[in-house]
Amino acid sequence: MTVYFYRDRFVESGQSAVPIEERAYNYGDGIYELVRFDQGRPVGLDEHLERLETSAAAVRLRLPFPLAKIRAIVVEAASRVEAPVVDVYFQISRGEAPRVHAFPEAEPVLALFAKPGKTYTDEFRRAGVSVITVPDERWSNCYIKSLNLLPNVLAKQAAVEAGVYDAVFVRDGFVTEASASNVFGFHAGTFHTAPAERGILNGITRRFIIAAIRELGLPLCEERMSAKFFEQEVEGAFITSTTMDIMPVCAINGRVLPSLAENSPVWTVLNRMRELSRGAGLSVG
């Protein structure tokens, strides 16, 4: 069951036809967020809304409603879906206008859908997922959660065609992130992940994991991770996002990583992060 909101109201899917000259359609001119509700409780909603504001400001997009109203619509949408885990996708486009590149005189448009979220069993997680590395051919402002995801789509498709789960981007010899998630490596007792620079999305899940690693007092190196180190040396790795939370990687370009022991630091962080992100009111800014 999916719930839809378009412009100013909840709609049946059949009514939500999008005008052809809509900026999101024509240019990918907009931004989005995806937030998860777990047993009715949003995970990091404040952080998602704050990132929405950051993305909007970065592309000079006016929000169609005050943030408090957007929050209320997101919460209302989630409550309309009867499922233990609900994902709410919401995007804001620069609106409907005749197709000219420069900003039009148009009202920005909120479009949203909410539906049951996909969850993974611990067994699936224990087995992990395999990844390949691919060149990061995206623009230099990947900290903006923009609707332009064509390189991400192509990277994921390359992974599917290679018979693996996901693609990890490499730019100038360094790992940035994966097609729809952030990437962590683990080596000689230390966690590694790319710093939150313009070239990656500063994932909300990533922030929860960093909080968990710090809280557990484990070493974390938030510096650029070379592709060579990631491809050839890390003993463990995982990818992180709102929809997967934390997903161990079992192979990189065919190099099999040792399976994770229950008492390994990666499992400990995985479990602690899940508790933290579900705890009430934790802010990871």
CB of 152 to ligand PDD, least distance (A): 6
| C-alpha span between 272 and 168 (Å, rounded) | 25
> 26 or 241: whose CB is closer to ligand PDD?
241
Does residue 144 contact residue 199 with C-beta atoms inside 8 Å? no
Q: Is 281 exposed, middle or buried (0-12, 13-18, 19+ CB in 10 A)?
A: exposed
Structure-block tokens of residue 117:
């979220």
- The verdict on 3 binding ligand PDD (CB under 6 A) reads no
Size of the site for ligand PDD (CB under 6 A): 15
| Direct distance between the N- and C-terminal alpha carbons of the chain, in angstroms, rounded to an integer | 32
| C-alpha span between 9 and 7 (Å, rounded) | 6
Does residue 54 contact residue 262 with C-beta atoms inside 8 Å? no
Placement of tokens 């923009």 in the chain: 146
- The verdict on 206 binding ligand PDD (CB under 6 A) reads yes
- Beta-carbon contacts of residue 183 (< 8 Å; ≥ 6 apart): 168, 175, 176, 177, 193, 194, 225, 230, 237, 238, 239, 240
CB of 181 to ligand PDD, least distance (A): 5
Site for ligand PDD in 47-86 (CB under 6 A): none
| C-alpha span between 273 and 186 (Å, rounded) | 16
Quick one: which segment of 53-61, 66-74, 214-222, 234-242 binds ligand PDD (CB under 6 A)?
Answer: 234-242
Q: How many CB atoms lie within 10 A of CB 192?
A: 22
Binding mask 159-198 for ligand PDD (x = CB under 6 A): ------------------x--xxx----------------
Q: Which residue has the CB atom at the shortest distance from ligand PDD?
A: 203
CB of 51 to ligand PDD, least distance (A): 7
In the set 115, 145, 156, 228, the catalytic residue is: 145
CB of 87 to ligand PDD, least distance (A): 8
- The verdict on 133 binding ligand PDD (CB under 6 A) reads no
| C-alpha span between 178 and 194 (Å, rounded) | 11
Q: Site for ligand PDD (CB under 6 A): which residue of 11, 18, 34, 284?
A: 34
CB of 98 to ligand PDD, least distance (A): 29
Is 118 one of the annotated active-site residues of the chain?
Answer: no
> 193 or 241: whose CB is closer to ligand PDD?
241
> 61 or 180: whose CB is closer to ligand PDD?
180
Catalytic residues: 145
Q: Which spans of this chain sit near ligand PDD (rule: CB under 6 A)?
A: 34, 152, 177, 180-182, 201, 203-206, 240-243
